[in-house]
Each structure stands twice: as structure tokens, then as C-alpha cells.
Amino acid sequence: MVKYAKSTQEEADLLHLATDNTVLRREVLLYGNDLPVVFAQSILPRKSLYGEWRRLGMLGNKPLGAVLFANPKVKRTPLSYKKLSPNHALYRRAARYLMDKPAFLWARRSVFSLNCANIMVTEVFLPHLVASA
């Protein structure tokens, strides 16, 4: 799913935006052994969708990582990890794809930068990932 929306406070803080900025929110579900294993969300501030990154809003089914890691000029912040409880918005978005809702989910996040344009990528690891390992 790809849609324009207002940034949340958490997104705005991490991307140094005003809270009411428009962002492109891209959500994808990654599968392994025909089961959902990762719920991924990318937040692209509208102002970042220009220059070398103007096509990021039109990726469709193409993996974002392939674009980000193909460009040696792209910088990545260190990964941060978070334990998501059921009251967290990302937990609720990811849990929509689960029959049994766990007590918590783990997520990791980093911000990619190119020419002062930032993109935040968050991956939520679903229980089937651990079960299939």
C-alpha cells in the first residue's frame, strides 16, 4: 500500500519535519514459505521525492532496498531496535496480517540520506520469521 498522509509525531521527530508535513507512506509485506515474515514501512517526506529520488514514489512492487543500496552516495544511520506493544501504531498495522496476536513484536529502523533528503525504513519482524528459521 502506498499513500500520502500527514506525518506522525514520531516520524516528524526522526526526520526533522513539522508534524503536519505530508509524507509518502509505503507499506509492504514480505513472505517466506508462503507466510508473512516481515512488515516493512517506508516514510518518504514529500520534499525528498525529487532529484535522484524522484522515482521512489513510483516503485510499485520493486524493492526499495535495491534502489537504496545500489547508490554508494546513500548514507544510512545505525539501526535502532524497539519492542512494540499492542498500543503502538506499527504493532497494530503489522498485526493486521496475523491470526494470533503476540504480546509484542520487534522492529528495527534506520534513516537513509542522499543530498539532504531522508527516508525512514522500519521493519517489523513477525512471529513466522522466527518459526521458519
Average pLDDT of the residues in 34-38: 91
Enumerate residues 6+ apart whose C-beta is below 8 A from 52.
Answer: 71, 73, 114, 115
Query: Which segments of 9-62 does DSSP mark as H helices, in order?
Result: 9-15
At residue 81 the predicted structure's pLDDT band, cuts being 50, 70 and 90, is very high
Block residue for cell numbers 521525492: 49
The structural domains of the chain, with segments of one domain joined by +, span 2-132
Specify the higher pLDDT residue, 18 or 41.
Answer: 41
- What is the residue type of 4? Y
**Arithmetic mean of pLDDT, 29-54:** 86
Architecture of the domain spanning 2-132: 3-Layer(aba) Sandwich (3.40)
| Residue-wise burial string across 82-94, b where 16 or more C-beta atoms lie within 10 A, e elsewhere | bebeeebebbebb
